[in-house]
Amino acid sequence: MNSRLRSTDRLPASARAGHWNAVIAEAYFPLDLTFRDAARFEGQLELGSVGDVSLSRLRTEPVQYERHRHHISGATQEEYLITIPRQSPVDFRQLGREVCCDPGGFILERGDEPYRFFYSAANDLCVLKVAKPVLATKLRNPDRYCALVFNGREGIGSLFTTMAQQIQKHGASDPISGAVLGRHLVELLALALDRTSDVDTGAGSSVREAHRRRAEAVILKDLSNPDLSPETIAEAVGISKRYLHELFAEVNSTVSQYVREQRLRAARDLMMMPNLGQMSDIAYRFGFSDQAQFSRLFKAMFGQTPSGFRAEVLSKSQG
């Protein structure tokens, strides 16, 4: 493993923060960095790769890293970071979870969702970067393991963290052996996540359920807005559009389908009121492009046309 060294050594104080931002973006992906003391900040990063795995050693003073939506919008590939702290604890927040990982543990970070990662004391980190498709071939739905702390002291977890740190230290003699080591690392990581995780699926599910309920509340509050879209809904909830789609897929639905169904139900409820007005006004009120579209979708969902439903309501009220 041929490693490259990046450092703040010999840099003037005024150049350190900007230089380190560029170093981090090159090694991982763009992030916003907050330094305790930018002028006195010291950092060193050794970066290399084995097969499909980027492997680095990061030694720095206290710093906070934040991934925001504007960083993610231009990303072309979904990636994970796996961080193994060796000197002091790290705090990590993502998808409503907030964890503290002590030395001896490790965490999985999702690069296509906003997060905050920081440590308040100098640290020495072993960091792996793996593309989502690479890990997904070994582990079903890796996203569910993000923002959880895993045991790196015992069992498979210990084998994984030890191997990662040894490869980072000694490297591989040639590209072929590097590719083999990279595959073994990914396989060990998958086994460690799958077997040693005390994944609190209840807590994870409750977080995702809470996000979905918030999204549903945003939709119900804004049904008459013709510009209601997955983008505006995700922004209002504080999650990414991709994550929003995942939440609805988990209940065998889509965002667009849920919006359409709720608009049709709201229109049906309105048609049960007196002094209804024109049917076309109801269609436009709930975001349908024309009355024909509204009538077709209404019949598909409720088994009768809007005018037929309205006539039935009037008949019952007069009887």
Return d(Cα 44, Cα 101) in angstroms, integer.
Answer: 21
CATH architecture classification, 203-318: Orthogonal Bundle (1.10)
Judged against a pLDDT cut of 60, whether residue 310 lies above it is answered with yes
Q: Which CATH class is domain 4-197?
A: mainly beta
Which residues, other chains included, contact 213 with Cβ-Cβ below 8 Å and sequence gap of 6+?
none
pTM score of the predicted model: 0.64
Which residues, other chains included, contact 84 with Cβ-Cβ below 8 Å and sequence gap of 6+?
105, 106, 125, 126, 127, 152, 161, 164, 165
Residue 199 pLDDT: 45
Residue 210 pLDDT: 82
Mean per-residue pLDDT of the chain: 89
Residue 252 pLDDT: 73
Per-residue model confidence as pLDDT tens digits over 260-290: 999 998 888 888 877 777 888 888 888 887 8
Residue 224: band (very low, low, confident or very high) from pLDDT cuts 50, 70, 90: confident
Span 69-92, mean pLDDT?
A: 92
Residue 291 dihedral angles phi and psi, to the nearest 5°: -70, -35
Backbone Cα Rg of the chain: 26
Residue 101: band (very low, low, confident or very high) from pLDDT cuts 50, 70, 90: very high
Helix, strand and coil content of the chain, in percent to the nearest 5, comes to 50, 20, 30
Burial class, 232, CB count within 10 angstroms (exposed 0-12 / middle 13-18 / buried 19+): middle
What is the greatest pairwise CA distance in the chain?
90
Go through the chain and tell me how many residues it has: 319
Return d(Cα 143, Cα 80) in angstroms, integer.
Answer: 9
Helices 175-196 and 155-170: angle between axes, nearest 10 degrees: 160
Residue 200 pLDDT: 44
Domain boundaries of the chain, sorted by first residue: 4-197, 203-318
Residue 204 pLDDT: 54
Highest mean pLDDT among 68-82, 120-134, 225-239: 120-134
The 10 Å Cβ neighbour count of residue 256 is: 12
Tokens encoding 132? 């989502």
Which residues, other chains included, contact 174 with Cβ-Cβ below 8 Å and sequence gap of 6+?
none
The CA–CA distances, whole Å, from 167 to 14, 51, 54, 88, 154 equal: 35, 12, 11, 21, 19
Give the side-chain half-sphere CA count within 13 A for 135: 29
Per-residue model confidence as pLDDT tens digits over 131-178: 999 999 888 889 889 999 999 998 899 999 999 999 998 877 778 888
Residue 271 pLDDT: 85
**Percent of the chain at pLDDT above 70?**
94
Residue 86 pLDDT: 96
Burial annotation 163-174 (CB, 10 A radius, 16+ → b, else e): ebbebbeebbee
